[in-house]
Amino acid sequence: MTYGKRLTVLAVLDSVIVLTAIYISIFTLHPDLQIIKSPFILGTAVTLLICHHVLASLYHLYNKAWQYASVGELMAIVKAVTFSILMTAAMQQIVFGNINFRALMITWMLHVLFIGGSRFSWRMFRDNYISKQKNIKRTLIIGAGSGGTMVARQLLHNPDIDLKPVAFIDDDPTKQKLDILGVPVVGDSSYITTAVERYQVENIVIAIPSLSQKEISRIFDECVKTKAKTQIIPKLEDLMTGKVSVNQFREVEVEDLLGREPVVLDIDSISEYVSSKTVLITGAGGSIGSEICRQICKFNPRKIVLVGHGENSIYQIDMELRKIYQNQIEIIPVIGDIQDRTRMFEVIEEHRPFVVYHAAAHKHVPLMEYNPREAVKNNIFGTKNVAEAAETFGVNTFVLISSDKAVNPPNVMGATKRFAEIVIQSLAQTSSTKFVAVRFGNVLGSRGSVIPLFKKQIQAGGPVTVTHPDMTRYFMTIPEASRLVIQSGALARGGEIFVLDMGEPVKIVDLARNLIKLSGFTEEEIGIHFGGLRPGEKMYEELLNEGEIHSEQIFPKIHIGKAKVMDVAVVSALINRLLKLSDEEMHDTLIGVANNKIDTTSLMFIAN
């Protein structure tokens, strides 16, 4: 209905209600039809009618969407009616010298009842008849706090959502047996399975935005025992920043189950060395590199230089950042290969960054076993090129993104990452640039992560392929890893290997089972196939070996270790010799040096 038609209908309806209220009240007190025709009653009726329409306009009673009417709308009605009665009473006193208090009180009650009833009866009729949908899904809401209440209100009032709340679950004992918006709180989280059966629930919404990952995992374990679809409301930070609204439910992701409590950064220390500075990131189009770019931009650098070999990925992160920070930060996309020494020196000389985050690397373990020379050229020589360029042109801090696979590596990829650490450690001995490395494990959702592979296998109907039932890995979300990398840069003094606290290792087979459940299948439907270890793979990863362990944290979730530092001349001679070796000799040399199994004398012999 258009605004003009709605205004006409409501104005006519209200006029009938006002006149009916005043005449019923008079007739109730004086059941004599003649008195109804008196000038006193006619004056009262006309005054009340005019006052009502004026105040109804003032309180926007003709503009409200009554299908969503609540306490606020009721208060507007009460105010409009009350002031109408008071103005009418003033008219009676001024014109007739007498106020009919009893008639006006009855008129006030009837006025509120009829006006409010007309509006709220429309809402009730719409909710119960017009908006009745055939495919309504009975929904159980986990959490009866402010988040759950907002979700319930949205589901009850929005006809476009096909979910109907039938019960709340909440662990707070003070909320048990309460009735919220007509929806009962039926028990705590241990009652989820029973509630789903008793109330014929088809959909579950976890509606506690501040819930810890440990609690999400515990509640999800109860939800998957049922056949109901489980969803979750957005994270608290997304709700607060306005990225999403409370009724934009999403699927429970594996990050919700494996993630940890968010790290609180030392904003002042990071701002001091990033704000108004030039920052350069290599591998800026990759999973970690691009997230470092996003996080760095929050600290308002003067200029950010995006270096990468793949033009499409650099274009994407460039466009993403420009959309948000175009008028705040100078964003420079640079296409360049870190193996191209001349190009790296040109870029760093031109932009003179204050800090460099070196995220570019080959990271695929089995592929690097088949291509050891490419791993050496990219991970060792590429790092050497960027690091020496940074030293030459006075970069303040150089942060190498390393890997847990650099610890006791049985494979080429891990060995080349350890070599990259050795390179920057040797430079740190004599350089004014602060060279540091940051080690961490697998990141959830990265392009090289096992999770996208598992999802594809599940979508194809299975089976999910896992190497070994006992294989474990450390996992961390991309944003958390990137934040801790940035924090490590702020803590750098030179020569350190920072190690991120990855929490507890996760069995890969458990990860596969969680993904199967999250996809709405059972393990029997999809199946899990164990294919055995691939070339270069380990059963478990380490972050520090026994000689490097320092249990104390220098910052929450950041440890520091001092790996063995090699002589600068030996490192330089050895690296220059690597590409002259055969593939087999190269493999053995890399593994031997990375695992400290070759002494300095032998290294000098190999180097020469």
**What is the three-class DSSP state of 416?**
helix
Q: Which of 397, 364, 561, 557 is closest to 477 using CA atoms?
A: 557
State yes or no: is 64 an active-site residue.
Answer: no
Report the distance separating Cα 503 and Cα 491, nearest Å: 21
Three-state DSSP state, 272: helix
520: Cβ contacts below 8 Å, ≥ 6 apart:
229
Active-site option among 363, 377, 405, 517: 405
Token output for 464: 């999910």
Whole-angstrom Cα Rg for the chain: 35
**339 SS3 class:** coil
Contact between 27 and 37 (Cβ < 8 Å): no
Q: Please provide the size of the chain in residues.
A: 608
Q: Residue 183 carries which DSSP code?
A: E
Cβ atoms of 18 and 91 within 8 Å: the answer is: no
Task: Say if CB 49 and CB 12 are below 8 A apart.
Answer: no
Nearest alpha carbon to residue 162 among 138, 180, 129, 184: 138
DSSP string, 102-166: HHHHHHHHHHHHHHHHHHHHHHHHIIIIIT--TTPEEEEEE--SHHHHHHHHHHHH-TT--EEEE
Q: How far is 27 from 188, CA to CA, in rounded Å?
A: 56
Residue 608, burial from CB neighbour count under 10 angstroms (0-12, 13-18, 19+): exposed
If 0-12 CB within 10 Å is exposed, 13-18 middle and 19+ buried, where does residue 282 land?
Answer: buried
Work out the burial of residue 482: count CB atoms within 10 Å of its CB; fewer than 13 is exposed, 13-18 middle, 19 or more buried.
buried
- Distance, in Å, from the CA atom of 43 to the CA atom of 31, rounded to the nearest integer, reads 19
Measured from the Cβ of residue 272, the count of other Cβ atoms closer than 10 Å reads 13
Which helix (DSSP H) or strand (DSSP E) does residue 281 occupy?
strand 278-282
The closest of 481, 512, 515, 517 to 499, measured between CA atoms, is 481
Residue 358: how many other CB atoms lie within 10 Å:
26
d(CA 524, CA 519): 13
For residue 329, which amino acid is it? I
5: burial class by Cβ within 10 Å (0-12, 13-18, 19+)? Answer: exposed
Return the SS3 of 77: helix
- CB count within 10 Å of CB 130 equals 10
Task: Say which amino acid occupies 62.
Answer: Y
Helix axes 450-459, 508-518, angle to 10 degrees: 40
> Three-class SS of residue 264?
coil
Q: Which positions are annotated as active-site residues?
A: 405
